Structures are given as structure tokens and as C-alpha cells.
Amino acid sequence: MKQLHALFFKIFYINFIFLILMSAYRFVFFSYYGKNSGLTWSKNLLEILNAFFMGLRFDLSVIGIVNVLPAVIFIIVFLTGISFALKYFILFLRHYYLLCIGTIVVLFFIDFNFYAYFKDHLNILIYGVLEDDTSALMKTFGSDYNLFLIFFSLFLTFVSIFIFLKKTLKFKTYDFKFPKFLNKFLISLTISTIIFASARGTFGKLPLGDCATISSNAFLNQTAINCVYTLQMAIDHRNEEKKEINYVHVSGYKNNIRLAFADFLNESLKSIPESVFENSLIRTTPFKQRLEEKRPSVIFILAESLGGDIIKYNSDSFNVLGELKKHFDKDIVFNNFISEEKVTPSALEALFLNIQLRPSAFYVAQSRYVYKKYPFASMLAYKEKGYETVFIYGGNAAWRNSGTFAISCGFDKVISADLAKKNYPKGAWGVYDEYLFNIAFEVLNQNDKPKFIFILTTTNHPPYNIPSDYKKHSLEIPNQLKERILNLEKAKKRFVVYQYCAEMVGRFISKVKNSKFGQNVIIGLSGDHSFNDAYSVRGWFNSHKVPFYLYVPDDFKPQNPNLDILGSHLDVMPTLYNLSLSNAKFISEGINLFSKEASSNSVMYLNYIMDKNLAVCYDIFRRSCAYYAFDENTDLVEVKEERGHKKLIKKFLSMCAISDYLLKNTGENI
């Protein structure tokens, strides 16, 4: 029995060290990323300890899962009494623990750097990284990290783990003696119970994952959760994507999609057509004689990582906006505006299709649905009015199948800027923005036909390279911002590239305004997603803000616009339609931001939906939710359920159902 006791102790010792390492990672994570979260050990001690305790439960869950296979093998050997087999079991343990512990160490390393960019643990976006431009990613990683040092360090880590396991699981003799059967049974039952409880994380009714929220402070919740768990959720969601989730069913509209249209429009069921339900979404822009006589061209710029939070720090000494500043001061800017998600394909989907993203759903551009022409595609309204529609991308339009997606959504022409005949200087992801805008201006000048030009930039993206001849403006980081910076050297480089992007956009707008097109072109600008990987952003809403800028010549400009209203990418195209098209029909789940109903607008961001006062985080698969309200700093604070929350949930579910129905039940194959 002494040999068995020694074996149990050594296995316990290995797992205890493993647990300490995971807790140490959590402490490093909290110390590094939490320094600007507003949390302090003195003021928030109990909350922080609660987060670490919850984290300990997550770590124990990982350990429990890791030990399921060894426990099963051991119990079989133990109950059958095959003594010599324990020798091979110990050899198996050395290699098995090496594989599992080593893999989790690698995951922790990836997670730490993943959080720096996405402000979240490993999630479904990891698939986006894997499916992205491989060569560009390698250039990015090679620029930001010393890959040789990283791989060498990981190699040493695996060697150290192997040596530790070999020394710990070392026995002078393998002559194990087993107890009587009853004792063997009781020991096996005890092991099974411990493993089950550890893996599940609780003896309660719900498993650990369903009760992981421990604070209204989002960062504390991030501190508590384990990246292994979030990666497992990502894998589960990806598998669900492959099964093509029926969002009509999970939203509660099975066999009654017509009701979803009624709920979304807040109208009676009788007002919805009994067939071709999407006709209830058709809108028509007002008849305007001046638009009939003079059709303005429209340019929309989707700028990489043009986040909104950093703009409030702009000054003469910290000039992140460059020439764009004078246009922001003079023209229309909606600041309470958010992106669709943290990645570019999500923004393109909302802008190209005019429908809301479904939480955890596949990207249309990379699915079989990209080969359909839909009646709600955003370019149809312009094509029907005789516009030439052009999509210009700074990189290769084969990226994420974006070129094919653009064509299916009504663009006449797709231009891959990095494949242009002129050998323009380029970074890892595409031509530098200044040359991209040169291409766009050439397209605008090609003929007198009215055009809709969609420009997608690439320069403001890791590894943050810009032309060597660019002369930057002053970028003295203000103390208020410096306190929030996570990596000063990286942030300095990041701010320069952000400034370059804004400067080039500003110069392009100036060039168009001063050209012959100046009084007959509308220019829109937004960021594809926020800019928050260099510093800590306080407040959920602020972390996802992007500006929505509009230059509208006097002949088409709306009077007294309300710039404080809430908006998202879904509202861009309906707003542009109403500014530039007369008596034009379109289908969209978004609204015109200059309309009266815009004052009560609500927007979605993945599993969040919000209006100007309230917000809900809704898990559509588990039907669980958290209720929030906005405070004076536009931060979300957790509150009790109010009537307005139910209204938001109703819209959330109806939009998810409608988007899914439209994608899967309308449109014609190309």
C-alpha cells in the first residue's frame, strides 16, 4: 500500500503545482491588464478575491477534465488487480501530463496576447485569425514578436515540464500491492467523485459555466474565467455554425416567422403580408426634385481600426486626427455609434446586406450563401437609379472572399489595390492608404456617371507599418491617456499609424471637396471596429465606439441633425439612401439617422442590444440575460429588469430570426 500511497501523493503533487501555475497566470493577467480597470486591492478586495476564487474553480475544472482519462485507466487496472500494468500507467502519465500541461501553457501564452488585441479571452475570433491572410499574419507576428525567442522559450518549457514529471513519477520498484476488493471499490468511487466534481466545478444544479458571472465589473469576470473554457465554447460555437443553427427556432419563432416581422416592426400581425414577408421591410426614400435633377456620387470609407474612444484625446500636442480634424469640426459626426463586432468581416456583412448579424453565426462571405443575389443587398438601390458601384480594397479582394461577396451584393466592379498595375508601396496587408485613395480618386474621375464607391483601408493594422517619408504630427501622449496604456512602446507606434490613417483620409476628403465633384458628392466614413489593443478602455460602450462622419454638400444637407442619437453600421446605408436617392426602394433592418424615429433607435453588438438608456446582454442559446443601464459616463452598470429591457429582448430575438430567414429563404443563386 505504501507504493500506492506514494503514487496518489505524487499525482496530487503534480496537479497541485499545475493549479498554482494557472493561478499565477491569473495574477499576472490581472496585474497587467487590470491596472487601468479602476480596481484596487484596497477598495475592491472582496470582489477581487471572489474573482480569484471563481478562477480557482475554473482551473480545478480544467484539472478535473485532464484527469478523466488517467482516472478511468487507473480504476480499470486497480479493480482488475493487474499489478505490472501500473508500471506502464506511470509511463503513460509522464507523457500524457507533458502533452496536456504543455498544451495549456501554450494556450495561456496565446491567450495573453490575444487579449491584448481583442480584449477577450480566446473565443470564436480565433478561427478568424486561422482563416486570415497567412503571409500577412506571419509578417505581423514577426514584426511584433521575436519568434525565435518565443519558440525557444516554449521548447525549454516543455523540457522543464518533462524533467519535472520524470523525477516526480519515479519509483524504485513497481511491485504494487492492492487492498481488498471492498477497499478498492471505495477508493475507486472516491476518485470518480473527486474527478466528477472537479470537472463540473460545482455540486449545484447548474455547471460552472452557467454561473460564471460574479461581478458587474466586466474585467473581473474576464479575470475569473479560464481561457481553456472560453476556447471550448468557441469550438462548440464553431461546430454549431457547421450545423447551421436555425435562428428562427432558437429565437422562439418556429412555424411563425411572420410574427417576428410584426414584433420587429412593432405592428399587428395583420399588417404583415401572408407571403413574401420581407415586403413588410420595404422602405422608400422621399421624392426630392433636386436629387432627380442632380444625382450626387457617394463615397463610403471603412477605415481599419478607426476607433472612437481615442478621438476625445485629440489636441495640438496629441494630434491623432491630423487633417481629418478640420472635417470633423465642420461636418456631421455621430459619436454615439458602434461597430458590429471586433472584426472587419462583420462590418462588411452589415453594410453589404443591410441585415443584423446573428450571434456566433458563420460569416456570409465564407459560406455557401455568398453565391446568392438578395433583394436586400445594399447596392441594389443605387444600381436601380443608374449608379456605377465599385468596391476598392487596399489588399487582395480574395481575402475572406470579400471580392465575391461584393459582387453578389451588387457591386459592378471590385478593385484589389495591391494587385493594381501601378506598383504602389504596401504594408503587410495591402497598399498604404494614401495610394489607395489615389486609386479611388481615379475611379471617381473616370466618367460623369454617378458612382457609389466603397473603400476599405488596411494600413492601420498590425504590424503598424507606414511609408518612411511620412512626416508625423506631434504625438505627446496626455497623462490621462498614458495612465491607461498597457505597452508604451507599442502604443506610440500604434498612435502614429492611427494618425497616418486619419491624415490620409483627411487629405482625400479635402481633395474631393476641392475638386469639380465637391458640391456633388457625399462622403461617409466609419471604422470597421474600435481601436483598443494598445490601452485599456473604460466602459463597455466606449470600447466599441467608432465615429460615423458625413460630408454632405449644402444642396443635400439635412437641417438641424441630432448628433447625440445612437447608431451602428446597420444604419449607414439607410442614412445614405435618404441623403442621396429620391423615391428609391430598399430593404434594411437599420434606420435613417436623420429620421424622427432615430431618437429612439436601438442597436445590437453580437449578443448585446441597447437603446440610449438601457442594455441587455442576451444568450440566445441558453435564454439567459443580464440587465444594464447607462450611467453618466456611458458605462454599463448592472441593474434589475425594467419594462424597457423586455422591449429590447423582443427586438433582439425578432432581428436574429428575420436575418436568418432572409439569408436562408430569399435570394436567387448566382
**Average pLDDT score over the chain:** 86
Question: Which pLDDT value is given to residue 10?
Answer: 84
Interval 130-141 mean pLDDT: 58
Condensed to tens digits (0 to 9), the pLDDT of residues 32-65 reads: 887 766 677 878 788 888 888 888 888 888 888 8
Does position 645 have pLDDT exceeding 90, yes or no? yes
Please say if the pLDDT value at position 211 is more than 50.
no
Determine the pLDDT at residue 136.
Answer: 60
Q: What is the mean pLDDT of residues 550-567?
A: 93
3-state DSSP assignment of residue 314: coil
Task: Please tell me the predicted confidence (pLDDT) of residue 205.
Answer: 44
Long-range contacts of 662-666 (CB under 8 A, 24+ apart): 662/278, 662/355, 662/374, 662/376, 663/355, 663/364, 663/369, 663/374, 664/244, 664/369, 666/278, 666/374, 666/375, 666/376
Please identify which residue in the block is written with the cell numbers 462571405: 365
Res. 76: pLDDT tops 90: no
Is residue 206's pLDDT more than 50?
A: no
pLDDT, residue 515, reads 94
Look at residue 401 in the predicted model and tell me its pLDDT: 82
Question: Distance between alpha carbon 36 and the CA centroid of its chain, in Å?
Answer: 21
If you average pLDDT over residues 152-167, what whole number do you get? 86
**Which pLDDT belongs to residue 132?**
55
Residue 212: name the closest of 198, 226, 199 by CA: 226
Range from 206-210, 284-288, 338-342, 353-357 carrying the lowest mean pLDDT: 206-210
pLDDT tens digits, 399-449 = 888 888 999 999 999 998 877 767 888 888 889 999 999 999 999 999 889
- In sequence order, the 6+-apart residues with CB closer than 8 A to the CB of 115 are 29, 33, 121, 222
CA-based angle 551:555:560, to the nearest 5?
A: 65
Pick the range with the lowest mean pLDDT from 85-89, 161-165, 282-286, 395-399.
85-89
Give alpha helix (H) positions in 279-423. Answer: 289-293, 324-330, 344-353, 380-384, 402-408
Instruction: Decide: helix, strand or coil at residue 291.
Output: helix
The pLDDT, as a whole number, for residue 210 is 41
Cell reading at 232: 471550448
Beta strands in 143-286 (DSSP E): 282-284
Confidence of residue 250 (pLDDT cuts 50, 70, 90): very high
* Domain at 258-669: CATH code: 3.40.720.10
The top-scoring range by mean pLDDT among 1-15, 614-628, 643-657 is: 643-657
Q: How far apart are CA 392 and CA 62, in angstroms?
A: 46
pLDDT tops 60 at residue 526: yes
Domain parsing of the chain, residue ranges: 2-241, 258-669
The CA distances from residue 454 to 108, 298, 499, 515, in Å, are 39, 8, 21, 19
Place of cell 514584426: 143
pLDDT of residue 73: 82
Helix extents (H) in 354-401: 380-384
2 pLDDT higher than 80: no
The residue-averaged pLDDT of 135-148 equals 62
- Residue type, position 39, single letter: L
| Cα–Cα distance, 263 to 281 (Å, whole number) | 12
pLDDT at 637: 85
For residue 83, pLDDT over 90 is answered with no
Band of pLDDT at residue 573, cut at 50, 70 and 90: very high
Phi-psi region of 47 (alpha: psi -120 to 50; beta: other; left: phi over 0): alpha
pLDDT in tens, 310-358: 999 999 999 999 999 999 999 999 999 999 888 899 999 999 999 999 9
Q: Per mean pLDDT, which of 35-49, 164-178, 291-305 is the most reliable?
A: 291-305
Percentage with pLDDT > 90 across the chain: 46
DSSP element (H, E) containing 605 = strand 603-605
Please provide the size of the chain in residues.
670
Q: How much is the pTM?
A: 0.75
Rounded mean pLDDT, 248-268: 95
Q: How far apart are CA 457 and CA 455, in angstroms?
A: 6
